[in-house]
Amino acid sequence: MGIFGRKSATTATTAPATAGAATVATLDAPSADLAHLTGDYTIDTTHSRIGFSVRHAMVTNVRGEFADYQGTLHLDGSNPAASSAELSIKVESIDTGNEQRDGHLRTSDFFEVDKHPEITFRSTSAQQLDTETYRMTGDLTIKGVTRPVVLDLDYTGSATDPYGIQRLGFEGRTTVDRTEFGLTYNAALETGGVLIGEKVKLSFDISAVRA
């Protein structure tokens, strides 16, 4: 798919992760069936999901999602590296299924929503690994701190829906260290360890429609 790749003006504060980069080969030629998909797309939030999970009390995972976000994609099916993406998430819309916990996450202990109401992502580069998998690098900004992240993406297909709208889909995932973005709150457990894990798994299940 190679939806992402246009260079962003945002400057990351650290170098992106390179683990396993030596084994990744960028394909020079895109898939033939993607050329006709070239164009601008918007994320259909009613058929998409942006979620996360984090370890709790060393024994289980708490899962949540963001309900309010918007994003745009520019796909160049003939030259995937010329494509791009941007995403903006309203932190206020965080939902973990517990109102008290969600309220705490909005405070200065975590996201400090009143000062940092949005999480943003802007793509910087992309690799096409094979006909259905891609690796994208971009700048993620949380709580005023920008860090590079690397997303693994699976292209899940394209279709024209009953209303004549062209759609394409992908699933993505990455893991970030929340403390690198200033989300350092924690509490010690009597049995050892801490209440909240530092690693947060992010997941994306996206349906995008041609603008």
The confidence score (pLDDT) of residue 33 equals: 63
The confidence score (pLDDT) of residue 133 equals: 84
The confidence score (pLDDT) of residue 27 equals: 35
The confidence score (pLDDT) of residue 76 equals: 83
- As a whole number of angstroms, the distance between CA 58 and CA 68 comes to 30
Its CATH architecture, for the domain 24-210, is Beta Barrel (2.40)
Whose CA is closest to 84, among 143, 39, 26?
39
Element (H, E) at 204: strand 196-210
- pLDDT tens figures, 62-116: 999 999 999 999 888 888 888 889 999 999 999 999 999 999 999 999 999 999 9
- Name the pTM for this structure: 0.82
3-state secondary structure 35-94: HHHCEEEEECHHHCEEEEEEEECCCEEEEEEECCEEEEEEECCCCHHHCEEEEEEEHHHE
- pLDDT tens figures, 157-178: 999 999 999 999 999 999 999 9
Q: Tell me, what DSSP letter sits at residue 194? A: B
Domain ranges of the chain: 24-210
